[in-house]
Each structure stands twice: as structure tokens, then as C-alpha cells.
Structure 1
Amino acid sequence: MEHGPTASEAVITAVARRMGVDPLDMETPLYDAIDPDELNALLGGAGRTGRSPVEVTFQYYEYTVTVDSNGSVTLTE
């Protein structure tokens, strides 16, 4: 059973919040930067017991986005 937003949802929400826009109003889809399904699979699987922590960093809009298997999203300009 999934708890909370997926990694891709967390990224979209964090970037939209930083930009001061509604996530539905964002013009560039996340898949232009990274495959959302692969991001969710990689980070979702890493959070399970016995798995190593995972951190993924990529560019989206003008931000360097770092998201980890704990669900933490960090944006730097």
C-alpha cells in the first residue's frame, strides 16, 4: 500500500509551489526532464526494508531537483 505522494508527484508539487503556480498550469511536463514512472519505481522500491537509500538529481525548469527514497525533495537554483 502506497503512503503519501509518489516521487514524481512530490517533485511537481515542490516545483509548482516554488514557482507560485498551480501544478496543472505548469507548461513543461516532468517527462521532458525525467521518466516519472522510472523515478517512482526507483525511489519507491528503495524505501522498502533492506534496500539501500537512493537519491536522484536532475534539472527541471531552472532548478536542480534532488529527490530521495525518503520522499524529500530539494530544489536549488
Structure 2
Amino acid sequence: MTVAPSQQRSDIRPTSVSRTAEDGDPSTTVVLAVAEALDTDPLDLSPALYEVIDPDALDSLFESAGADADLTCQFSGWGCTITVFDGGRVRVTPGR
């Protein structure tokens, strides 16, 4: 039996992961998306979110934005570029 090259390596990560905040706030969605992109448990992320960005400030920024706001926040952490969009979408792109 031959195994395809993509199945032989467990260290292959997606080029990006997108998640939408269903009932959570942007900071929770960031943690879940980063954990998914890095294939790790959200509780095992190091450093903690508050050491990368102020989660209360992030949540407040998007809570205070009006319905017609075109708001995007981008920052780096955990070797990834994280982009938070209005509407609750988060995109995580791991570094290469």
C-alpha cells in the first residue's frame, strides 16, 4: 500500500483557518481559530491571549462598532497573522 505524501507528514498545517463567532466574542473566536490552525488544544496555547493582545479591548472594539462599520483588526501572535473582521469572522494564517 502506498501512502500519499500529504498523509505521511503530520506537521502540514493549513494555509489559513477561518472561524465565525457564533455566540462568542472575538477574543474567544481568536483562541479557537489559532488552536485549530496550530492543531492544538485551546488551553495549551502559549503565551496566553492576554499576553498577545488585550482581549477586553478587542471585544470592546467590535462591540462598539456600528452596524455599518467596516472594521478590521490585524495582529501577530503564536507565529501567525490573525485578522478579526466585523461580523465576527476571524482568519488565522500560520507563518511559513
Please report the TM-score for the alignment, with normalisation by the length of structure 2: 0.69
Q: Deviations over 1:16-73 (max 9, x none)?
A: 0111111111121111111000000001222x43x52211000011111000121111
Aligned partner letter, 2:76: Q
What residue ranges of structure 1 are gaps of 5+ in the alignment?
none
Q: Report whether the alignment pairs 1:63 with 2:80.
A: yes
Q: Which has the higher helix share?
A: 1
User: % of aligned pairs identical?
Assistant: 34
Q: Report whether the alignment pairs 1:4 with 2:23.
A: yes
Name which of 39, 43, 50 aligns with 2:58. Answer: 39
Please report the TM-score for the alignment, with normalisation by the length of structure 1: 0.84
Runs of at least 4 residues of structure 1 off by over 4 A?
none
Q: Report whether the alignment pairs 1:17 with 2:36.
A: yes
Higher relative contact order (CA 8 A, sep 6+): 2
Give the count of matched residue pairs. 73
